[in-house]
Amino acid sequence: MDIVYIRDLQIETIIGIYDWERQVKQTVSLDLDMAADIRKAAETDDIQYALNYKAVSKRLIAYVENRDALLVESLAEEVAAIIRNEFGVPWVRLRLSKPGALRGARDVGLIIERGEKPQ
């Protein structure tokens, strides 16, 4: 199995359950590990056979910026579903964090894995 990854994709969005969080955009950060077979792309040097990380990034930015989520759990599930369904990724590990959301901590968040991890 090969992994295409994106680290620290920062997106501004409305997220949170408190009244003040509903009024201001906050930064969420995404780290993604996505299963992909890169052999054909490497053999042909052709983007059509690659998992296009720029297209993934642009899609997630557009979605998250316009999503008005209460919980990071909801947003994480939705992001994982987009990656799997729209980009044909069989397995994804997503780390979603809210930097600065908790006093005394650099960030808080969660890590989920969805799909079957190829061998």
Q: Are 72 and 28 in contact (CB under 8 A)?
A: yes
98 is catalytic: yes
| 46: amino acid identity, one letter | D
- Number of Cβ within 10 Å of residue 60's Cβ equals 20
CA dist 91 and 61 (Å) reads 20
CA dist 98 and 102 (Å) reads 9
Catalytic residue among 25, 54, 98, 117: 98
Provide, for the chain, the percentages of residues in helix, strand and coil under a 3-state DSSP scheme, each rounded to the nearest 5: 35, 40, 25
Residues designated as active site: 98
